[in-house]
Amino acid sequence: MHELSLTRNIVAIVSERANGAKVTQVILEVGKLSAVIPDAIRFCFDIVAKGTVLEGARLDVIEIPGRGRCRDCGSELELRQFVERCTCGSANVERLAGEELTIKQMVTV
């Protein structure tokens, strides 16, 4: 479960940025094509945050859908999986969104 190590890194980054202030909320963007399971991050968050400035903070996860553009016909399409074909039949699809794992915002008091 790589989500545990990802969550540890998220907590470490936010803790460092908080500079000692109490964190009450963290907003995370997770792309649907990122191979990160949001529920696993949520599960690990409270455990990893215990004893840090994030203890008790709310974690909000925004899931970013996969989007791509066909390099052959120029059409944009929703990507439900990492490799997908365009409606024109081409597999030459550039991924535009869906691979994110971003700490979007943190709220401190």
pTM: predicted TM-score of the whole model, two decimal places: 0.86
pLDDT at 1: 57
Please tell me the class of the 2-66+97-108 domain: alpha beta
Helix-then-strand count for the chain, H and E:
2, 6
pLDDT at 90: 96
- Two tokens, residue 57: 């903070």
Residue spans of the domains in the chain: they are 2-66+97-108
* Whole-Å CA distances, 3 to 41, 68, 79, 97: 6, 25, 22, 20
pLDDT at 83: 87
pLDDT at 82: 85
* Beta-bridge partners for 14: none
Rounded to whole angstroms, how far apart are CA atoms 60 and 102?
Answer: 12
Angle between helices 38-49 and 2-18 (to 10 degrees): 50
DSSP 8-state assignment for residue 98: S
DSSP H stretches of helix in 1-109 = 2-18, 38-49
Q: Which residues are annotated as a binding site?
A: 2, 70, 73, 86, 88
Q: Which residues are annotated as a binding site for Ni(2+)?
A: 2
How high does pLDDT run on average in the chain?
96
* Beta-bridge partners for 23: 108
Q: Which residues are annotated as a binding site for Zn(2+)?
A: 70, 73, 86, 88
Ranges of the chain with pLDDT below 50: none
